[in-house]
Structure 1
Amino acid sequence: MERMIIFCMLFFCSSMVLTATPHKAMKYKQLLKTIDQLKDVVKDKDAELLHTPENPVDECLFTAVTCFQKGTLKLQPKNSQVNSTFIKTVNILKRPILKDSGKQCESTCESYEKKNPKEFLQSFSKLMKKVTIRVDSFCLFFDVL
């Protein structure tokens, strides 16, 4: 009887994880599309250079994403025709993306090299792909169970 109760609890918990995880993976994939849209409408010439995290360690993912979010607020549209698209896209990227893991990160946003807006967005996209792959592999792990 105890084994049956434990099995049922395990089954219930794993099914809950399976329903939550694909939603996150889809959210991160949508954020990747949003970043790619922003690449086309951002001013790159005569623009402010932005701190650009590259290859952050796992403990620093939250700090890196937060740095990118702050940097997107400094971006400017390349012309007035794309202004409404630009504003909508930046507003999407202002929303919380990752939860703070609580782990201490040695790096600060200011410790990263400054790059132009296109390179900044390319690095942001690369980081979000890394996060998406981790979430997808987590989903695959639970699909095997």
Structure 2
Amino acid sequence: MERTIIFCMLFFFSSTVLAAASHRAVKYRQILLVIEKLEHAVKDKDVEWLHTPENPVEGCVDTALSCFKNGTLQLQPLNSQVNATFTKAIRVFRKYTIRSPGKQCESSCESYKKKPPKEFLTSFAKLIQKLLKNEYSAQQS
């Protein structure tokens, strides 16, 4: 009887561990939520445009993420009313670490076109959604 209970508990815990989302997927989801908040709190007029990676090739995703991280630190709040929300959001990006790429990417941040902050955030969200989709498909296989 004890062995059966232990086996059932072991089976239950191992299946929940396998079903749990990876740390990276959780982080991507958090970043996606922060981007959505920032889209409404960021100044889009009379500001410097930012280098915006779009559709980076497979080996350049980490470089693109690094460009986005550095770009978000240059964003400005829309007004003083959203400053607290803006500051909290930026803090998430400061803490986010990007794994170092195994090989050097041929394109640098400066090689990408400059776009307004809202378009920059939209492209960032698209990349994070793509990475999140890849993360979930990797977990399924």
When normalised by structure 2's length, the TM-score is 0.83
Question: In structure 2, how many angstroms separate the alpha carbons of the residues matched to 1:68 and 1:125?
Answer: 10
Query: Aligned pair in 2 of structure 1 residues 98, 19: CA closer, same or farther (>3 Å)?
Result: farther
The Cα shift of 1:93 comes to 1.4
Matches within 5 A, 1:96-135: 96-135=96-135
Indicate the percent of aligned positions where both proteins have the same amino acid: 54
Return the TM-score normalized by structure 1. Answer: 0.81
The number of equivalent residue pairs is 127
Q: Which residue of 2 aligns with 1:82?
A: 82
Q: For 1:70, what is the secondary structure of its paired residue?
A: helix
The C-alpha deviation readout for 1:12-31, integer Å capped at 9, x for no partner, is: xx98x947753321221121
Q: Distance in 2 between matches of 1:74 and 1:56?
A: 21
| Helix, strand or coil at the partner of 1:89 | helix
Instruction: Report whether the alignment pairs 1:50 with 2:44.
Output: no
Do 2:25 and 2:135's aligned partners in 1 also have CA atoms closer than 8 Å?
yes
Instruction: Name the SS for the 2:22 alignment partner.
Output: helix
Following the alignment from structure 2 to structure 1, what is the Cα–Cα distance between the partners of residues 22 and 52? Answer: 28
Report the CA distance shift for 1:109/1:131 in structure 2 as closer, same or farther (over 3 A): same
Long gaps (5+) in structure 1:
1-13
What is the letter of the counterpart of residue 26 of structure 2?
A: M
Is the Cα contact below 8 Å between 2:63 and 2:101 reproduced in 1? no
Q: What whole-Å deviation, never above 9, does each CA across 1:18-53 have from its counterpart, x for those lacking one?
A: 477533212211210111100010000111100000
Partner of 1:36: 36
Q: In the TM superposition, what whole-angstrom CA distance separates every residue of 1:74-128 from its partner, at most 9, and x where no partner exists?
A: 1000100110110110110122343123122010000000000000000000010
Structure 2 residues without counterparts, runs of 5 or longer: 1-13
Query: Are the equivalent residues in 1 in contact too, given 2:50–2:117 (CA < 8 A)?
Result: yes
CA RMSD of aligned residues (A): 1.9
